[in-house]
Homo-oligomer: A and B are copies of this chain.
Amino acid sequence: MVDERDKSLVKWLGETSLFVGMEEQHLRDLSGIAMVVSYKRRATIFSEGDPGNGFYLVKDGKVKIFMISPDGKEQILHIFGPGNPFGEVPVFAGQSFPAHAVALENSRLVFLPRDDFVALVGVNPALALNLLATLSQRLRQFTKMIDALSLKEVPGRLAAHLLYLSEKQAAGDYLQLELSKTQLASLLGTIPETLSRMLSKLQREGLIVIEGGSISIVDREGLEELAEIGKF
């Protein structure tokens, strides 16, 4: 017997990019092994080195994946929201989680246990191809991040991020930072003081106008050039 909650989980799973287009029966199988778990804001979901017994989908809320140095500096790898999967690496590569995961807001997650899930992948090529697409996309993002960290200076990374947000939010030249400036600094591989100075600098140079966590792009071409060249 399938109750209302299970039915809605099946429907929800079928709408995530990972499972889109999968047959009803396969989605029911997935839903059969899935567990919904809740985490409060700031709660740790897993830590680097923890054994990976499964992976997660964000049902609602927001999760950050990050690394931290011995002296406490943090580098955010990803911010994941509704529909995004995370923590897949140990499912397929074995070993433990390579980074930490913390809830940025009160969040509900769908947990999929490793062994059951791998068995489903083995009999479902469409699922395997979706996973390959997801991991490949992730590799592409990491490639861009390495490029940014190694070959671009902070203003260039910031400009690229503002353009990314502008495209994603599709609200013309107006955009929301979506994160606290401390967290944004960590995502861009810098510290809050430097981010603050660089935002001021972009404003001073006439590229943007800052209103708290909202930004208006004034000179899009200038920002694009900065993002491309990576420095002033």
Contacts and interface: CB of A to CB of B under 8 A. Distances in A.
B67 A147 contact: yes
A22 interface: no
Given A93-B133, A150-B189, A142 B140 contact: no
A75 B139 contact: no
A139 B138 contact: yes
Nearest to A96: B140
A27 to B, nearest CB: 18
Contacts of A136: 88-93, 135
Q: How many copies does the complex hold?
A: 2
A170 interface: no
- Which of A71, A93, A123, A145 counts the most chain B CB atoms within 10 A? A93
A230 interface: yes
A146 B145 contact: yes
Interface residues of A, number: 50
A150 B147 contact: no
A230 B139 contact: no
Nearest to A190: B150
A98 interface: yes
User: A73, A99, A147 — which one has the most chain B CB atoms within 10 A of its CB?
Assistant: A147
A202 to B, nearest CB: 19
Nearest to A188: B150
B146 A75 contact: yes
A53 B169 CA distance: 31
Given A121-B128, A138-B139, 9 more contacts: A67-B150, A95-B140, A121-B129, A122-B125, A125-B128, A132-B132, A142-B142, A145-B146, A146-B146
